[in-house]
């Protein structure tokens, strides 16, 4: 499967040139022309790297970079800066960018930077086969939950995928848009977030997780869902 690269650039000519070059090289580019769309896609899109212009309408590049480092800390980001703007480059690298490219840049240089960053900092979630929780464990390979009292419950394929993704990101609040994009593999703009809520409700039931005081899958108000770490205290649930 080709690597997907998100290009956030408001200059249509530059953006089109980057997208065409990436596609010719075998990547699968997606694009955003402003900060609002760029931020939404960076946090929810299933991408392997972000090319981020710093000067954008809406949220600026640094705002997007800070948000991405909070929600997806291992996602590689290359910032695009104007020639001579040393402060922008320093600020971007200090803010967590993996590299920068100075405008105007050659296609050859850009592709070389992309390949180098992907080689040294790919976003590779760890594989998870077992998820432990108070009172039992989920065997993701066998698609079943085993309780300490000897009882078992079957998991559907999608429930396994959802639980695996939550476990790969344990302790981090994951938005419904990100779940739709990375687990369901559909465009989150479709607004089908109710699907996520229903699957989480079924998972909680199968894990014997009290929906009013969950200890396994916690709702993070205003953000989404998170798989609680083993040492986390129970939290009262609320609408996200």
Tens-place pLDDT, residues 183-205: 887 766 666 678 899 999 999 99
Lowest mean pLDDT, pick from 160-164, 176-180, 234-238: 234-238
80 assigned to some structural domain: yes
Identify the H or E element spanning 90. helix 86-94
- Final residue belonging to a domain, choices 120, 140, 174: 120
Q: Which residues pair with 80 in a beta bridge?
A: 53, 101
Per-residue pLDDT at 91: 79
* pTM score above 0.85: no
239 assigned to some structural domain: no
Q: Which domain holds residue 203?
A: 130-227
| Domain containing residue 14: CATH number | 3.40.50.2300
CB-CB neighbours of 23 under 10 Å: 13
**Among 175, 184, 150, which Cα is nearest to 225's?**
175
185 and 93 in a common domain: no
Given a contact cutoff of 8 angstroms between Cβ atoms, the answer to whether 68 and 26 are in contact is no
Q: Is the pLDDT confidence value at 75 over 90?
A: no
140 and 167 in a common domain: yes
217 and 194 in a common domain: yes
Instruction: Read off the pLDDT of residues 137-160 as tens digits, 9 standing for 90 and up.
Output: 999 999 999 999 999 999 999 999
* 1 confidence band (pLDDT: 50, 70, 90): low
Residues near 114 by beta carbon (within 8 Å), at least 6 away in sequence: 5, 22, 27, 49, 51, 78
Per-residue pLDDT at 225: 94
Query: From the centroid of its chain, how far is CA 133?
Result: 24
* 94 confidence band (pLDDT: 50, 70, 90): confident
115 and 27 in a common domain: yes
Total domain count, the chain = 2
232 assigned to some structural domain: no
136 assigned to some structural domain: yes
78 and 136 in a common domain: no
- Final residue belonging to a domain, choices 86, 120, 154: 120
Given a contact cutoff of 8 angstroms between Cβ atoms, the answer to whether 68 and 43 are in contact is yes
């Amino acid at each position: 499967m080709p690597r997907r690269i998100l290009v956030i650039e408001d200059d249509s000519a530059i953006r089109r040139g980057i997208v065409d070059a990436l596609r010719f090289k075998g990547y699968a580019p997606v694009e955003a022309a402003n900060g609002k769309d760029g931020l939404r896609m960076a946090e929810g899109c299933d991408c392997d790297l972000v090319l981020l212009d710093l000067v954008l309408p809406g949220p600026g590049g640094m705002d997007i970079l800070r948000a991405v480092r909070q929600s997806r800390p291992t996602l590689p980001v290359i910032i695009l800066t104007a020639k001579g703007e040393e402060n922008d480059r320093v600020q971007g690298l200090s803010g967590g960018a993996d590299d920068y490219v100075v405008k105007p840049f050659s296609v050859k240089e850009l592709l070389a930077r992309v390949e180098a960053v992907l080689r040294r900092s790919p976003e590779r979630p760890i594989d998870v086969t077992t998820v432990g929780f108070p009172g039992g464990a989920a065997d993701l390979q066998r698609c079943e939950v085993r309780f300490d009292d000897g009882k078992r419950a079957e998991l559907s394929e999608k429930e396994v995928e959802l639980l695996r993704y939550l476990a790969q990101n344990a302790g981090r609040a994951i938005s419904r848009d990100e779940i739709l994009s990375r687990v369901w593999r559909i465009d989150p703009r479709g607004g089908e977030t109710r699907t996520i809520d229903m699957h989480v409700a079924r998972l909680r039931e199968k894990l014997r997780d009290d929906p009013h005081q969950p200890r396994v899958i916690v709702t993070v108000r205003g953000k989404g869902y998170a798989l609680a770490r083993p040492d986390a205290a129970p939290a009262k649930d609320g609408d996200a």
